[in-house]
């Protein structure tokens, strides 16, 4: 039996620190591609630069810290679905999973679009649907296949892609130094500020720190690896935004209105020449590959985790010979194909709204678990008491509400429809499970916060429970389950006597 386990471990090796940093980097950022809109929407460089200095403090760092604590407390695939289920029960865990998965698929639909937006600066044919549609399909299919080939390949690919994608901006930063005029950074025209576009751009470029938690079951020694990886990724993300923006806005006299998706290719040409423009376009292509791969991995392993918890049919947890969840990957890829016809700005606003609702629920779950489960084993714990972490969650929570308030009527209608669909999907899945219309993974039931509503958790054969908290909860479950069975037997006996 041990040799079978060793063979499986070698065939599907766990993620180590460097690949995890690269995957988190691509979950959140992937480089400065797409940040150009923040200059245009901010009416000039000042608000954009200030945003990427201030937003990480009030948003990225708190979210990364909370993710580090909860991901190490629940080191299983499914991530935030587990956290919400432990805090509020399986109904809300399912809703969180559905919102975040839908938001993630929307996010993934951006990357083929963004790739072609960069490419059309050199190849205008990609403005036409006759070339654009086959290109979108080709990109999606080829990258989906790479994802199918294994998470370890995806992780190390992400490292190589990150190095290649960031190098041209480092070169651009060095070449721009003699031309930098610091007063250019202070330009802002408040009359031309598009606050909705600005906040959506900032938020989209700095969110999704929690996505990597859905891969926690695939990480080697998550209690040590996750906090280090998140810290490294925060530094990498913020640097990858500020260096190119400081170079491009400080060295050029470009109008704010010129800064739109793909404009960094033009900035590279103006600072370094045609060779740098081509290098940035190649980097954009590689970066979007990394973004797509990281997002699809998280979305697919989230569905796998939900299946292992008994929230989705067992088919979603079936793995290929490469250890990847085949059906879950195909579902995510199908969603990408259907959503990639939308515009960049529309997709960003829709996914931000759904993501915001999910994050508010995560913050609430984090505080509730601190109060209701103070003895939960937390390999990494934010060094603050309950009041301190509540204060830590307040600024990002207010930011989430603010971003949601800025949404258009169309966004409210689309997001509202997704939320209503999730509410109806849960009882449908429960009915399918009860009627045995589909096979589900046999789950063990862990009592939730009030011990009345049960939380399904599974420890499949391919996955060892390494978390002491999980072990203690499972042992607690066994005694509760035995008590329930004995009371049921007694009730049946009384009924027979009657």
Whole-number pLDDT of residue 151 = 60
Give dist(CA 25, CA 162) in Å, integer: 8
CATH fold of 11-434 reads Amino acid/polyamine transporter I (1.20.1740)
Q: Which residues neighbour 72 within 8 Å (Cβ) at sequence distance 6 or greater?
A: 222, 223, 226, 227, 378, 379, 380
Least confident segment among 87-91, 144-148, 302-306, 476-480: 476-480
Among 140-149, 352-361, 421-430, the least confident range: 140-149
* pLDDT on residue 494: 40
Tell me if 206 sits within 8 A of 55, measured CB to CB.
yes
- In 218-343, which residue ranges form alpha helices assigned H by DSSP? 222-251, 263-272, 274-308, 326-339
**In the chain, % of residues over pLDDT 70:** 80
Convert the pLDDT of each residue in 62-82 to its tens digit. Answer: 999 999 999 889 888 778 999
Residue 1 has pLDDT above 70, yes or no: no
**Alpha-helical regions (H) of 29-76:** 36-41, 45-55, 61-73
Contact between 335 and 105 under an 8 Å Cβ cutoff? The reply is yes
- pLDDT for res 248: 94
- Summarize pLDDT for 395-437 with one digit per residue, the tens: 999 989 988 888 888 889 988 999 999 999 999 999 999 998 9
H or E element at residue 196: helix 195-205
Q: Read off the pLDDT band of 469 (50, 70, 90).
A: very low
pLDDT category of residue 474 using cuts at 50, 70 and 90? very low
Mean pLDDT, rounded, for 10-38: 81
pLDDT band at 464 (very low <50, low <70, confident <90, very high): very low
The residue assigned the tokens 């046999």 is: 442
Residue 439 has pLDDT above 80, yes or no: yes
453 SS3 class: coil
| Buried/exposed code over 170-189 (b: 16+ C-beta within 10 A; e: otherwise) | ebbbebbeeeeeeebbebbe
Burial of 263 (0-12, 13-18, 19+ CB in 10 A): buried
pLDDT, residue 392, reads 94
* pLDDT score recorded for residue 149: 63
User: Looking at residue 129, what is its pLDDT?
Assistant: 66
How many CB atoms within 10 Å of residue 443?
18
Residue 237 has pLDDT above 90, yes or no: yes
Q: 363 near 407, Cβ under 8 Å?
A: no
State phi, psi for 350 to the nearest 5 degrees.
Answer: -60, -50
What pLDDT does residue 147 have? 67
Q: What is the mean pLDDT of residues 488-492?
A: 44
pTM of the entire predicted model: 0.77
Over range 6-24, report the average pLDDT.
Answer: 69
Q: How many CB atoms lie within 10 A of CB 307?
A: 25
In this predicted structure, the answer to whether residue 491 has a pLDDT above a threshold of 50 is no
d(CA 386, CA 175): 48
Residue 171 has pLDDT above 90, yes or no: yes
Token duo for residue 313 = 């049919």
Mean pLDDT of 346-362: 87
Q: How many CA atoms lie within 13 A of 76 on its CB side?
A: 29
Q: What is the dihedral sign for C-alpha 131, 133, 139, 142?
A: negative
* Mean pLDDT, the chain, integer: 80
- Does 11 score more than 50 pLDDT? no
Contacts of residue 495, Cβ cutoff 8 Å, sequence gap at least 6 = none
Contact status, residue 154 vs residue 293, Cβ threshold 8 Å: yes
CA separation for the pair 473, 479 (Å, rounded) = 10
Please list, in sequence order, all residues whose beta carbon lies within 8 angstroms of the beta carbon of residue 368, skipping any fewer than 6 positions away.
Answer: 87, 88, 449
**Of the given ranges (6-20, 151-165, 323-337), which has the lowest mean pLDDT?**
6-20
Q: What is the mean pLDDT of residues 143-159?
A: 69
On whether the CB atoms of residues 26 and 291 are closer than 8 A, the answer is yes
pLDDT over 90 (residue 244): yes
124 versus 491: the higher-pLDDT residue is 124
Facing residues of 320 across strands? none
CA dist 213 → 83, 94, 210, 240, 384 (Å)? 10, 16, 6, 22, 21
Domain with CATH 1.20.1740.10 in the chain: 11-434
Question: Which is higher by pLDDT, 99 or 470?
Answer: 99
Q: Are strands 454-457 and 444-447 parallel, antiparallel or unpaired?
A: antiparallel
What pLDDT, on the 0 to 100 scale, is given for residue 17? 86
Asked if residues 77 and 304 have their Cβ atoms less than 8 Å apart, the reply is: yes
Residue 299 CA, chain-centre distance (Å), reads: 8
481 pLDDT tier (thresholds 50, 70, 90):
very low
pLDDT digits over 182-221, tens only? Answer: 999 999 999 889 988 898 888 888 888 888 787 777 788 8
pLDDT of residue 121: 62
Residue 455 in this model has a pLDDT that exceeds 70: no
pLDDT of residue 174: 95
480 has a pLDDT exceeding 50: no
d(CA 240, CA 386) in angstroms, rounded, equals 34
Report the Cα 55 to chain-centroid distance in Å.
18
pLDDT, residue 98, reads 93
* Rounded-to-integer distance, Cα 481 and Cα 165, Å: 53
Local structure of 466: helix, strand or coil? coil
Q: Quick check: helix, strand or coil at residue 374?
A: coil
Question: What is the mean pLDDT of the segment spanning 293-305?
Answer: 82
Alpha carbons 303 and 301: distance in angstroms, whole number: 5
d(CA 306, CA 36): 36
Are 184 and 358 in contact by the 8 Å Cβ rule? The answer is no
Region 137-141: mean pLDDT is 76
Distance, in Å, from the CA atom of 406 to the CA atom of 472, rounded to the nearest integer, reads 44
Among 144-148, 277-281, 329-333, 489-493, which range has the highest average pLDDT? 277-281
Over residues 122-145, the mean pLDDT reads 72
pLDDT at residue 446 tops 80: no
């Amino acid at each position: 039996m041990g040799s079978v386990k060793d063979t499986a471990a070698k065939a599907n090796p766990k993620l180590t620190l460097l690949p995890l940093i690269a995957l988190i980097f691509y979950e959140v950022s992937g480089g400065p591609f797409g940040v150009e809109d923040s200059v245009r929407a901010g009416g000039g460089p000042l608000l954009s630069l200030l945003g990427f200095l201030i937003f990480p403090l009030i948003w990225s760092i708190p979210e990364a810290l909370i993710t580090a604590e909860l991901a190490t407390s629940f080191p299983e695939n499914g991530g935030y679905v587990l956290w919400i289920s432990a805090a509020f029960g399986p109904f809300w865990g399912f809703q969180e999973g559905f919102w975040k998965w839908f938001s993630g698929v929307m996010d993934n639909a951006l990357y083929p679009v963004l790739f072609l937006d960069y490419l059309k600066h050199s190849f205008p044919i990609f403005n036409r649907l006759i070339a654009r549609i086959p290109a979108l399909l080709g990109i999606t299919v080829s990258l989906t296949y790479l994802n199918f080939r294994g998470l370890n390949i995806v992780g190390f690919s992400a490292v190589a892609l990150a190095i290649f994608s960031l190098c041209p901006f480092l070169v651009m930063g060095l070449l721009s130094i003699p031309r930098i005029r610091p007063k250019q950074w202070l330009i802002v025209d408040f009359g031309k500020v598009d606050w909705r576009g600005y906040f959506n751009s900032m938020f989209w470029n700095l969110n999704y720190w929690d996505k990597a938690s859905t891969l926690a079951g695939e990480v080697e020694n998550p209690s040590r690896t996750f906090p280090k990886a998140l810290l490294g990724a925060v530094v990498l993300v913020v640097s990858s935004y500020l260096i190119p923006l400081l170079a491009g806005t400080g060295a050029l006299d470009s109008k704010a209105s010129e800064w739109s998706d793909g404009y960094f290719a033009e900035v590279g040409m103006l600072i370094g020449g045609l060779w740098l423009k081509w290098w940035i376009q190649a980097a954009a292509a590689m970066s979007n590959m990394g973004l797509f791969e990281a997002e699809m991995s998280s979305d697919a392993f989230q569905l796998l985790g939900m299946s292992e918890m008994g929230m989705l049919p067992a088919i979603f947890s079936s793995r290929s010979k490469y250890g990847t969840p085949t059906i879950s990957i195909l579902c995510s890829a199908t969603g990408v194909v259907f959503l990639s016809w939308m515009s960049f700005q529309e997709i960003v606003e829709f996914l931000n709204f759904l993501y915001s609702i999910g994050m508010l629920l995560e913050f609430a779950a984090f505080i509730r678990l601190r109060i209701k489960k103070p003895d939960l084993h937390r390999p990494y714990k934010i060094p603050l008491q309950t009041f301190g972490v509540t204060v830590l969650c307040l600024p990002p929570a207010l930011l989430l509400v603010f971003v949601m308030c800025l949404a258009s009527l169309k966004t409210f209608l689309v997001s509202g429809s997704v939320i209503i669909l999730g509410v109806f999907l849960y009882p449908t899945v429960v009915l399918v499970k009860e009627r045995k219309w589909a096979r589900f993974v046999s789950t063990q039931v862990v009592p939730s916060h009030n011990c009345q509503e049960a939380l399904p958790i599974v420890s499949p054969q391919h996955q060892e429970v390494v978390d002491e908290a999980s072990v203690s909860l499972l042992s607690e479950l066994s005694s509760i389950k035995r008590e329930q069975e004995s009371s049921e037997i007694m009730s049946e006996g009384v009924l027979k006597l009657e």
